[in-house]
Structure 1
Amino acid sequence: MRAPEMRYLVARAASNPSELKGFLSFQMLHEETMDDDVMAQAAYCFEVQLVFSARGRGLGEFLMRLLERIGSYWHMDKVMLTVFKANKGAFRLYTEKLGFTLDEISPGACLSALRARRFDYEILSKPCNHQIENGSVLCKQ
């Protein structure tokens, strides 16, 4: 968390700015692809943490959509994250609500089902575009 490259989106209560509601940590990285000669530019989400009272209210979705816009603004190829398979709620949020899919380097995408079962996580990603609409940069939906 103290890496100089790490960046944070911090959520505070509107009524009391000293009241922390959660954060998202991320870095802009060069990520491997299945092509040994190609690296992808990625806005990589390392962690989303919300206080219990802020969960299920759209704050995590809001922080992730901000990261998508940041990735697009900086011309990243994609937004990426790692999610534990056991975290079903997070997996549903990322895939069903936010449109993330298994990244090409995720165990579930590049290994046989038998070998992929050995991993307790998947790597998800969502491509970014750099389309400007009403002055705002958008990621593909």
Structure 2
Amino acid sequence: MRVPEMRYIIARAASNPLDLMGFVSFQILHEETMDDDIMAQAAYCFELQLVPNARNQGLGEFLMQLLERIGSYWKMDKVMLTVFKANKGAIRFYMEKLGFTLDEISPGACLSALQARRFDYEILSKPCNP
């Protein structure tokens, strides 16, 4: 949390601004692509954390939509994140609810199924709209 380039969007309760409900941390990065000559500009989500009573209320979706808007504003190519394969709830949230897909550099997208099984994570992304 002490990385100078890290940025945070912090959600507080409307009834009490001291009551923290969650946050999303992100950085603006240049990420590799499958083309060695091209780097993608990405708003990379490092963490999305919500207190238990703020979950399933739309707050996580709202925070990620804000990150998408930031990516669009700064003309990023995409929003990216890493998710553990074991975290089925997060995979459903990002892919089914928010429309993320496997990024081209994700193990599941660029390796054979046998090779991809060695990795415990996938990299997801979603294009930023202009």
1:101 aligns with 2:105: no
Give SS of 2:16's match. coil
The unaligned stretches of length 5 or more in structure 2 are none
The unaligned stretches of length 5 or more in structure 1 are 131-141
Quote the RMSD (CA, aligned, Å): 0.5
More strand by share: 1
Q: What is the distance in 2 between the residues matched to 1:87 and 1:58?
A: 19
Aligned equivalent of 1:129 = 129
Q: What is the distance in 2 between the residues matched to 1:38 and 1:127?
A: 16
Give SS of 2:18's match. coil
1:36-115 to 2 correspondences below 5 Å: 36-115=36-115
Number of aligned residue pairs: 130
Aligned equivalent of 1:135 = none
Once the two structures are superposed, residues 29-52 of structure 1 have per-residue CA deviations (whole angstroms, 9 ceiling, x without a partner) of: 000000001000000000011111
Q: What is the distance in 2 between the residues matched to 1:128 and 1:2?
A: 27
Superposition TM-score, scaled by structure 1 size: 0.91
Runs of 4+ in 1 over 4 A off after TM superposition: none
Q: What is the distance in 2 between the residues matched to 1:79 and 1:118?
A: 25
Aligned equivalent of 2:31 = 31
Q: What is the distance in 1 between the residues matched to 2:110 and 2:50?
A: 32
Give SS of 1:66's match. helix
Q: What is the distance in 2 between the residues matched to 1:87 and 1:61?
A: 17
